Amino acid sequence: MQETTANQVAGNATSSFTEHLQRDRPDLLPYNRDMPAAAAATAPLQVPHATTIVAMSYGGGVLMAGDRRATMGNVIASRHIEKVFPADRYSVLGIAGTAGIAIDLTRLFQVELEHYEKIEGTLLSLDGKANRLGAMIRGNLPMALQGLAVVPLFAGFDTTAGVGRLFSYDVTGGRYEEREHHTVGSGSVFARGALKKLWRPNLAEAEAVSVAVESLYDAADDDSATGGPDPVRQLWPVVYTVNRDGARRIPESELATVAGRIIEARSAERREA
């Protein structure tokens, strides 16, 4: 009798917010909705899609940047959307794919990390965070099969090892650690091409910011779903750096200067591509 009580207590003890929701409030999970089976047969749902995210390591940490466009078919759904978020003090995540589900997943992931920290009194390890994100993406697999996929990119500073690390995912929740740099989203191939030429080991933080903005510029140049820097509306990519001191958002004014410099250099060259 006593043993079953102990087992029950141990079974109920969870530090995971997602597990708690699954047990008590499954309706609140972003991916636990019943979709009518017929929906899959018809044309894919027209919903906003978030596009390109780039991430790279630099001397002392990691950096992640995302453009500001969401598209719905051939229409621009949003020019202001933000797709890179701080997950906690030492990690950031960027999302590509179905914007509505991705933003909810991000919120859930942020609460998941904070919840663990409050219940346990310590931060989750970086690998632990990366695995939790993978499990959430796997939870979204039924939705992904119906065309509502979310693909994140995760970057954080490993406080025990003292290095910045990058993780990419596939729609089944598979987690892959990346070295140097990685990109996701519709413009990712072009951004990746740019990064291959622009990135080099141990970039300084300011150089890394410039490389990220330039690779997004190249992605926007060739991918209609990626937005470039917009001097008319004063819209710049969202850029976060994570290092030993934690995550920091690069201020708009700094990005305006960096983007201005790139646009100027490209105009001066007067070249086609």
Partner 1 sequence: MTQQFYVSPEQLMKDRADFARKGIARGRSVVVISCQDGIALVAENPSPSLHKIGEIYDKIAFAAVGKYNEFESLRQAGVRYADVRGYSYDREDVTARGLASVYAQSLGAVFTAEQKPFEVELAVAEVGPTPELDHLYRLTFDGSIADEHGFIVMGGQAERVSAVIAEGWRPSLRFAGAVRLATRGLASGPDPAAEQGEAGGTLPAKAVEVAVLDRQSETSRGFRRAFRRLNDSDITALLAEED
Stretch that binds partner 1, among 44-52, 57-65, 112-120, 149-157 (CB under 8 A): 112-120
Q: Does 200 bind partner 1 (CB under 8 A)?
A: no
Of 75, 64, 45, 84, nearest in space to 225 by CA: 75
Chain position carrying tokens 């779903």: 225
User: Measured between alpha carbons, how far is 91 from 240 in angstroms, rounded to an integer?
Assistant: 10
Q: Does 133 bind partner 1 (CB under 8 A)?
A: no
Q: Most distant CA pair in the chain: distance in Å?
A: 81
In the bound complex, what is the minimum distance in angstroms from residue 131's beta carbon to partner 1?
A: 20
Q: Does 111 bind partner 1 (CB under 8 A)?
A: yes
Question: How many CB atoms lie under 10 A from the CB of residue 273?
Answer: 5
Stretch that binds partner 1, among 38-46, 114-122, 124-132, 219-227 (CB under 8 A): 114-122
Q: Does 108 bind partner 1 (CB under 8 A)?
A: yes
Task: Kindly give, in sequence order, each residue whose CB lies less than 8 Å from that of residue 16, ignoring residues fewer than 6 positions away.
Answer: 112, 115, 116, 132
Q: Which is nearer to partner 1, 39 or 111 (CB)?
A: 111
Q: Does 118 bind partner 1 (CB under 8 A)?
A: yes
Given 5, 10, 41, 121, the residue binding partner 1 (CB under 8 A): 121
In the bound complex, what is the minimum distance in angstroms from residue 161's beta carbon to partner 1?
A: 23
Enclosing H/E stretch for 40: helix 38-41
Stretch that binds partner 1, among 59-67, 92-100, 117-125, 170-178 (CB under 8 A): 117-125
Binding flags for partner 1, 65-104, as an x/- string (CB under 8 A) = ----------------------------------------
Chain position carrying tokens 């490389």: 211
Q: Does 250 bind partner 1 (CB under 8 A)?
A: no
Footprint of partner 1 on 13-52 (CB under 8 A):
17, 20-21, 24-25, 28
The angle that helices 252-269 and 205-222 make with each other, rounded to 10 degrees, is 60
The tokens describing 264, both together, are: 């100027």
The tokens describing 269, both together, are: 């060259």
Among 5, 18, 51, 98, the active-site one is: 51
User: Measured between alpha carbons, how far is 111 from 119 in angstroms, rounded to an integer?
Assistant: 12
In the bound complex, what is the minimum distance in angstroms from residue 24's beta carbon to partner 1?
A: 8
User: 51 catalytic, yes or no?
Assistant: yes
Query: Residue 151: what residue type?
Result: V
**Alpha-carbon torsion (75, 107, 137, 124), positive or negative:** positive
The catalytic residues are 51
Contact residues for partner 1, defined by CB under 8 A: 17, 20-21, 24-25, 28, 107-108, 111, 114-115, 118-119, 121
